[in-house]
Amino acid sequence: MRLWVFEEWRIGVSVGDDPEWLADVTDMVPGAGSWPPVHMNALVADLPRLGPVLARQAREAGPDRRHRLADLQLLPPVPWPSKIVAAPVNYRQHRDELSAAGGVYAGQDIKTVMDYGLFLKAPSSLIGHGGTVQLPFGNRRTDHEAEIAVVIGRTARNVRAEDAMAYVAGFSGLIDFTVRGSEDRPFRKSFDGFTPMGPCLVTADEVADPGHWRFSLTVNGAVRQDGSTERMILDFAHLVSLASYHTTLYAGDIIASGTPEGIGPVEPGDRVELEVAGLGRLAVGVDSAPAPATEIMGDWAAPFQNR
């Protein structure tokens, strides 16, 4: 099942395998229409019961409830999770490229998720397919990181890896935008728009083998990243286990699973597209900030702007 969030946090469901149309099932989702838009979290938690109801509603929806995806403003498929947990350096090839000669952190001793643990991104950094990322610091390198997001389906605390996938509601594409530099990861990765997610949530029952999953990212049509989940240091199950030991995970929580090699800078005007086999295509634009940091905050902020 494919779940979409669009316009004013309305909920859509794909009809069968149709890639171009969705059925609006918002009226069937408890809590829809209120703010903050946490009804998707509740929907995900209730998916075993509500999923078949929504699927039937989608099949029976009349023309007035069917919308062409190309006509809709899409939002992240979980717009208001309690948290985004993220894995730093979960692919060895990515670690190697960071510290290699000419790399972003050339000569530095870059470690992996087993050394760094996990970090958090602000949920307010989420945007959907078709959104735009604004680069906060025009002079500083900001990179794309192609990733796959896990969406948690029910409360998970101290879950062992062998049981962990039963807590996963589904998957989505995710781009973890990152300002390079010395500040802590949550600062450099939590700017508004820095977590594009989508285009939709694909439920776990539609994903045959998350351990062998190809995904690629292009900038202006040129391939930058071409990865496979085979090469993760911690696979999805172990990430869920570790995250559930760190914090209680709630339905709708997102785990960004790390990026393979090929990260690189983006510039205003770029178009970044992530394609994950079976999950669809997530495309966003890149723009500059409306004003330099010093113009908004004052000259004291110059070290952030020019670092």
What are the residues binding Mn ion (CB under 5 A)? 145, 176, 259
Question: Do 284 and 229 meet the contact criterion of CB atoms below 8 Å apart?
Answer: no
> Of 39 and 94, which CB lies nearer to Mn ion in the complex structure?
94
> Of 97 and 176, which CB lies nearer to Mn ion in the complex structure?
176
> Of 176 and 261, which CB lies nearer to Mn ion in the complex structure?
176
Smallest separation (angstroms) from Mn ion to the CB of 259: 5
> Of 4 and 194, which CB lies nearer to Mn ion in the complex structure?
194
Question: Do 152 and 255 meet the contact criterion of CB atoms below 8 Å apart?
Answer: yes
Of the candidates 274, 12, 8, 33, the residue with the CA atom closest to the CA atom of residue 130: 274
Smallest separation (angstroms) from Mn ion to the CB of 238: 16
Smallest separation (angstroms) from Mn ion to the CB of 145: 4
> Of 181 and 292, which CB lies nearer to Mn ion in the complex structure?
181
User: How far apart, in whole angstroms, are the C-alpha atoms of residue 273 and residue 159?
Assistant: 34
Smallest separation (angstroms) from Mn ion to the CB of 86: 6
User: How far apart, in whole angstroms, are the C-alpha atoms of residue 233 and residue 89?
Assistant: 9
User: How far apart, in whole angstroms, are the C-alpha atoms of residue 267 and residue 245?
Assistant: 38
| Buried b or exposed e, range 6-18, using 16+ CB within 10 angstroms | beebbbbbbbeee
Does 36 sit behind a cis peptide bond, omega within 30 degrees of 0 on the bond before it? yes
Report the relative pairing of strands 132-135 and 280-288 from DSSP bridges.
Answer: parallel
User: How far apart, in whole angstroms, are the C-alpha atoms of residue 49 and residue 29?
Assistant: 12
Give the nearest residue (CB) to Mn ion.
176
Question: Which residues have CB under 8 Å from 34's CB, separation 6+?
Answer: none
Smallest separation (angstroms) from Mn ion to the CB of 110: 13
> Of 145 and 273, which CB lies nearer to Mn ion in the complex structure?
145
> Of 66 and 180, which CB lies nearer to Mn ion in the complex structure?
180
Smallest separation (angstroms) from Mn ion to the CB of 258: 6
Smallest separation (angstroms) from Mn ion to the CB of 112: 12
User: How far apart, in whole angstroms, are the C-alpha atoms of residue 167 and residue 169?
Assistant: 6
Rg, Å, the chain Cα set: 19
User: How far apart, in whole angstroms, are the C-alpha atoms of residue 286 and residue 99?
Assistant: 26
